[in-house]
Amino acid sequence: MAYAVKRAGGFAGYYRDVRGKRCSAGIFPTQAEAIIRAGDLEGLTPMERAQVSGTAPDVGTYAEHFEVWLVDVKVNGGLAPRAWIGYEDHIRRLVLPLIGDREVC
């Protein structure tokens, strides 16, 4: 269930992702806006969250989708920094040169 907490400069909206991890939806001027935004994101997969927030292209290449995914995993994924660096390195060196320019169906 989405909820808001009073913070300096507004209200922080929080929600639980599909794994049950607490995530921030950001800081908003009102409690209602924080809860609504967090509720919009609650229970969505990382790609669905990116689409709701307007950061994911509706149609595009694998390179575009991996860029969105890498940002989302870094911000919301709960990975150790070294794990994220390893994922990013493998994707940029091994995956994108092979399929990065292909359209996602």
- In this predicted model, what pLDDT tens digit does every residue of 79-94 receive, in sequence order? 788 988 999 999 999 9
CB under 8 A, 24+ apart: contacts of 17-21: 17/42, 17/43, 17/44, 17/46, 17/49, 17/76, 18/43, 18/44, 18/45, 19/78, 21/76, 21/78
Beta-carbon contacts of 74 under 8 Å, excluding residues fewer than 6 positions away, are: 84
pLDDT at 44: 65
- Quote the CA–CA distance of 34 and 8 in Å, as a whole number: 14
Confidence (pLDDT) at 63: 87
pTM above 0.75, yes or no: no
Q: Domain segments of the chain: what residues?
A: 1-43, 45-105
Question: 4-13, 20-29, 95-104: lowest mean pLDDT where?
Answer: 20-29
pLDDT tens digits, one per residue of 29-83? 988 888 888 887 776 666 666 666 555 555 578 888 888 778 777 777 677 889 8
Query: 33, 34, 28: which is closest to 13 by C-alpha?
Result: 34
